[in-house]
Amino acid sequence: MSREAMQIALEALESDPVSHAGLVNRKQAINALRQALAQPEQEPVAYETENELWWAHSGDINNWIRKNGVPLYRRQPQREWVGLTDEEIAQGLKESWVTEQAWQSAVWWAEAKLKEKNRD
pTM (2 d.p.): 0.36
Quick: pLDDT tens for 1-50: 567 777 777 777 777 665 554 565 667 677 777 877 787 777 788 888 88
Domain boundaries, the chain: 1-41, 42-76, 78-120
Residue 7 is which amino acid? Q
Express each pLDDT in 46-89 by its tens digit. 888 888 877 777 666 777 777 778 878 777 666 777 888 889 98
Pairing of strands 46-48, 53-55: antiparallel
For 41, counting Cβ atoms within 10 Å of its Cβ (0-12 exposed, 13-18 middle, 19+ buried), the class is exposed
